[in-house]
Amino acid sequence: MADPTVIVDNLHVVYRVYGAGGDKGTAATALMRVLKRQRRPSVRKVEAIRGVSFVVYHGDAVGIIGRNGSGKSTLLQAIAGLLPPERGCVYTSGQATLLGVNAALLDDLTGERNVVLGCLAMGMTPQEVKERYQSIVDFSGVGTFIDYPMRTYSTGMAQRLRFSIASAKDHEILMIDEALATGDANFRAKSEERIQQLRDAAGTVFLVAHNLAEVEASCNRVIWLEKGKIVMQGYDVPAIVDSYLAATGGEPLQRDKQ
Amino acid sequence: MRQRARDHGAPGTLTDDLSLPETDQASLPAEPLAELAARYQLAPSAARPGAFAYARRLWDRRHFIVGFATARNVAMYTEARLGQLWQVLTPLLNAAVYFLIFGIILGTSRGVPNFTAFLITGIFIFNFTQRAFITTSRVMPDSLQLIRALPFPRASLPIGYVLIELEQLVMSMIVLTVIVLATGEPLTWYWLLALPALGLQAVFNVGMGLFLARLGAGAEDFSQLMPFLVRTWMYASGVMFSIQTIASLRRHPAVTYLLQVNPAAVYISLVRNAILQSQRRAWPGTKPYNAARCALYYHDSRAVYDSAYCHATVSMPQLWLYGAGWAVVALVVGFLFFWEAETRYGRG
């Protein structure tokens, strides 16, 4: 068996959410709370991941499936070291990189500055940024809009530019959050091709997707999360996908018999 | 194992209770996972590097820090019609307001030679620290999206915010130079001393910025309180009056001393003494002690330069020592304090 690249050992991740309900939210109620020495009821703990363990080996492409709010994105953020574990630990063979559309870019700045800043944030040197700049802009296809502030971009254009920036680098452990395959059909084809290249270059890939056909097509292994726990996981991807669909009441996948 | 699962608004027809199969744990290796990780030399992803390794990583990301600061600075004014001109207009308007209130209406200029230059220098220099403190106390909650999206040494953020203020300060200093020269101060070699003084102040601000960033990351209450703390500090630091001239402090040399060695007052005095000849001449202790002339200073508002004949509360070389001391202490303490919580900033 190949070497392990990611080991998740009894991982627990807890979010603290401020401003959740349960309070009228007026100054008077806040004062009463202080006087009565109560804790802020609006601070709530959300246990997003509750005891997850698995081992991923070099060459694995792991699909993570589950309903909205089941902890998929949180799991990826914890593996990348962006969210600290409450208990347990994640061990990785190198820096795990998360390709998400939320990578903060500054809306008031031109596309050009955003490209440079995004690349620097990923750890490129100014020289590397200069070398790759043109290919990033060309790939995004935003054209002359690159000189305009990003707040003037359409949603699709902004997502295309973000994806182009995020995918400009090869990563050892690559994690792709859904919603990446955005944009028009033409760009989707281009980005799927780019993801494939990144996968070939990376040792290990994680993919979060609601599109189960995509998971089956590109993953050799799947993890099904529900309420922060693993329901099923393993290398028999179609069987797990079928159980998932049966449990959530979805339509069974139409598979081509070959 | 049956679990209750609530509908989170996922597409498709969801039942409230999911009928789930048994959890599959069979594929885990037999040996403890921590030992397996150690055997293959895998490192915890949320591990905190040592303090020196952390400083080196920060240095590796220096281009990002500078790029981030410059970009934020440019972005700040893109919605304004006058654009970057506000970088100059903001300090000018600030100076005008304070001059109107403290120079003309309240008349605190008593006992200070060339009060206009004295006041505006004080405001611009304090403004650097003030803005750095307020923005860094908010930087971690404000940047949570970025923190959860990309791995980089988190100290880049408060340092970047202090750099933004440093870039603003450069604009302010250009305005200040013009104003100071217009008030009749000569351009001398002493002006060069302003550079190390501002350098020490910047180091102090970075150290305190790191410290405040961690405090502000825990509770929003802190960043709400910050503007009031800083304003109180401003009134205690001799920005719009000379600490020396406060009559009620004459009998409390210890209090005068403490006010004069507080970091804000130290950096303001260092810059004033560098670029204002009037301040250098009036600094206590620059002339041999003369009780009569010193007393005259306190009783005759025209004898503004006679403060030079009084005993020095803090001498000029001592000012430099305090300036360097505050900077080093703030940087070391702030850096270690921030670094200690490095892996926890993503939690919010």
Q: In which band, very low, low, confident or very high, does the pLDDT at B13 lie, cut at 50, 70 and 90?
A: very low
C-alpha count within 13 angstroms, C-beta hemisphere, residue B219 = 6
Judge contact between A52 and B33, C-beta under 8 A.
no
Pick B211 or B150 by higher pLDDT. B211
Cα(B180)–Cα(B221) distance, integer angstroms? 39
Pick B326 or B168 by higher pLDDT. B326
| Nearest-by-Cβ selection for B33 from A9, A123, A232 | A9
Average pLDDT for residues B202-208, to the nearest whole number? 97
How far from A242 is each of A246, A252, A258, B59, B345, CA to CA, in Å? 6, 7, 18, 50, 39
Range of the structural domain that residue B119 is part of: 50-231+268-281+314-333
Note the pLDDT of residue B213: 94
Q: In which band, very low, low, confident or very high, does the pLDDT at B335 lie, cut at 50, 70 and 90?
A: very high
Share above pLDDT 90 across residues of chain B, in percent, rounded to a whole number = 32
CB contact B148 to A (< 8 Å): yes
Chain B residue with CA closest to A2: the answer is B40
Res B136 pLDDT > 70: yes
Q: Cβ of A84 and B72 within 8 Å?
A: no
Q: Cβ of A230 and B24 within 8 Å?
A: yes
Q: B344 contacts in A (CB within 8 Å)?
A: 84
- Type of residue at A127: Q
Angle (CA) B182-B188-B194 rounded to 5° is 90
Note the pLDDT of residue A61: 86
**Domains by residue range for chain A, with CATH:** 59-248 (3.40.50.300)
For B145, residues 6+ apart whose C-beta sits below 8 A from its C-beta are A102, A104
| ipTM of the complex as predicted | 0.75
Kindly state whether residue B255 falls inside one of the protein's structural domains.
no
For A53, residues 6+ apart whose C-beta sits below 8 A from its C-beta are A8, A9, A10, A11, A88, A230, B25, B28, B33
Looking at A164-173, A228-237, B46-55, B334-343, which range is the least confident one?
A164-173
Q: Provide the chain B residues 92-121 that lie in CB contact (below 8 A) with chain A.
A: none
Kindly state whether residue B135 falls inside one of the protein's structural domains.
yes
Q: From the CA of B230, how many Å to the nearest CA of chain A?
A: 24
Kindly state whether residue B305 falls inside one of the protein's structural domains.
no
For residue A167, the SS3 value is coil
Kindly state whether residue B132 falls inside one of the protein's structural domains.
yes
Q: Cβ of A248 and B10 within 8 Å?
A: yes
Can you read off the two tokens belonging to residue A2?
A: 């190949």
Test mutation, A1, A86, A89, A206, chain B, max B CBs within 10 A: A89
Note the pLDDT of residue B8: 40
Residues of chain A with pLDDT under 70: 1, 18-25, 37-43, 100-105, 178-183, 256-258
Looking at A59-63, B245-249, B331-335, which range is the least confident one?
B245-249
How many independent structural domains does chain B possess? Answer: 1
For A180, residues 6+ apart whose C-beta sits below 8 A from its C-beta are A99, A100, A101, A163, A191, A195
Res B295 pLDDT > 90: no
Most confident of A179-193, B40-54, B288-302: B40-54
Kindly state whether residue B198 falls inside one of the protein's structural domains.
yes
Note the pLDDT of residue B15: 43
| Nearest-by-Cβ selection for B12 from A108, A121, A248 | A248
Average pLDDT for residues B290-299, to the nearest whole number? 82
Note the pLDDT of residue B9: 39
Q: In what order do the strands lie in the sheet with A221-226?
A: A96-99, A173-176, A204-208, A61-65, A221-226, A229-234
CB contact B31 to A (< 8 Å): no
Looking at A34-48, B205-219, B261-275, B296-310, which range is the least confident one?
A34-48
Test mutation, A18, A91, A224, chain B, max B CBs within 10 A: A91
Test mutation, A73, A82, A127, chain B, max B CBs within 10 A: A82
Judge contact between B237 and B265, C-beta under 8 A.
yes
Cα(A39)–Cα(A220) distance, integer angstroms? 47
Note the pLDDT of residue B106: 73
Note the pLDDT of residue B47: 77
Q: Cβ of A91 and B37 within 8 Å?
A: yes
For A212, residues 6+ apart whose C-beta sits below 8 A from its C-beta are A65, A241, A244, A245, A253
Q: A83 contacts in B (CB within 8 Å)?
A: 46, 148, 346-347
Average pLDDT for residues B60-77, to the nearest whole number? 84
Average pLDDT for residues B66-70, to the nearest whole number? 87
Judge contact between B137 and B216, C-beta under 8 A.
yes
Q: A56 contacts in B (CB within 8 Å)?
A: none
Average pLDDT for residues B140-163, to the nearest whole number? 86
Return the closest-CA partner of residue A71 out of B150, B338, B300, B3: B3
Cα(A97)–Cα(A82) distance, integer angstroms? 10
Q: Cβ of A55 and B29 within 8 Å?
A: yes
Q: How many CB atoms lie within 10 A of CB A172?
A: 16
Q: Cβ of A120 and B60 within 8 Å?
A: no
Q: From the CA of A102, how many Å to the nearest CA of chain B?
A: 7
Instruction: Give me chain B's average pLDDT, please.
Output: 83
Write the DSSP assignment of B273-286 as a string of letters. HHH-HHHHHHSTTS
Cα(B136)–Cα(B227) distance, integer angstroms? 12
A-B Cβ pairs (cutoff 8 Å, strict): 182
Kindly state whether residue B107 falls inside one of the protein's structural domains.
yes
Cα(B149)–Cα(B129) distance, integer angstroms? 30
